[in-house]
């Protein structure tokens, strides 16, 4: 396994462990929809998002499978960082803010808002941005050094 993954860098992480665990949860909640989009016969477009598949279903299903193929490795990378390479937690949470922020803007104000229909992901994206900002702040806060250690420095 060493040929694929370098040694863990967790010892260098100074942020909150809660932020790393949040990134684990974010990774899981990225892999699961990715698997749904990729493996479910309708990609979740009809049964979850409530989309009308009577016109151009082939294109819609292909797009859902494509996004699923992107979400699965992205979520796995988030989990890997949260478990093994924690110094990268802040940048991955920042990327989550950008990703979900763009999704929220599109879903509520952009192309996705045209129909007036809001699938669960539109709401989840807004919540994810808020939570991600909170956990980004936590990931950037350095742990306090115990006074016994400071006294020896």
Tell me the torsion sign for CA atoms 142, 144, 149, 152: positive
Q: How confident is the model at residue 148 (pLDDT cuts 50, 70, 90)?
A: low
pLDDT tens-digit series, residues 32-49: 999 999 999 999 988 888
pLDDT of residue 145: 62
Domain limits, the chain: 16-142
Retrieve residue 106's tokens: 């599109």
**Tens digit of each residue's pLDDT (9 = 90 or more) over 61-114:** 999 999 999 999 999 999 999 999 999 999 999 999 999 999 999 989 888 777
Find which of 52-61, 113-122, 140-149 is predicted with most confidence, using mean pLDDT.
52-61
What mean pLDDT do residues 120-128 have?
Answer: 91
pTM confidence score: 0.85
Percent of the chain with pLDDT over 70: 92
Closest by CA position to 18, among listed 93, 69, 80: 93
Burial (Cβ within 10 Å: 0-12, 13-18, ≥19) of residue 137:
middle
Helix, strand, coil percentages (3-state) for the chain, rounded to 5, are: 70, 0, 30
Question: What is the model's pLDDT at position 110?
Answer: 86
> Using 50, 70 and 90 to split pLDDT, how confident is the model at 31?
very high
């Amino acid at each position: 396994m060493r040929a694929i993954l370098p040694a863990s860098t967790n010892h260098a992480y100074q942020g909150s462990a809660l932020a790393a665990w949040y990134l684990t949860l974010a990774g899981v909640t990225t892999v699961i929809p990715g698997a749904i989009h990729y493996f479910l016969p309708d990609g979740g477009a009809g049964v979850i998002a409530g989309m009308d598949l009577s016109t151009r279903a082939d294109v819609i299903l292909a797009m859902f499978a494509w996004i699923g193929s992107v979400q699965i490795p992205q979520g796995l990378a988030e989990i890997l960082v949260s478990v093994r390479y924690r110094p990268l937690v802040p940048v991955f949470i920042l990327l989550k803010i950008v990703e979900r922020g763009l999704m929220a803007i599109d879903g509520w104000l952009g192309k996705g808002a045209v129909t007036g229909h809001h699938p669960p992901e539109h709401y989840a994206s807004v919540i994810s941005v808020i939570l991600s900002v909170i956990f980004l702040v936590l990931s950037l806060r350095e742990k306090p050094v115990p006074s016994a250690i400071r006294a020896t420095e």
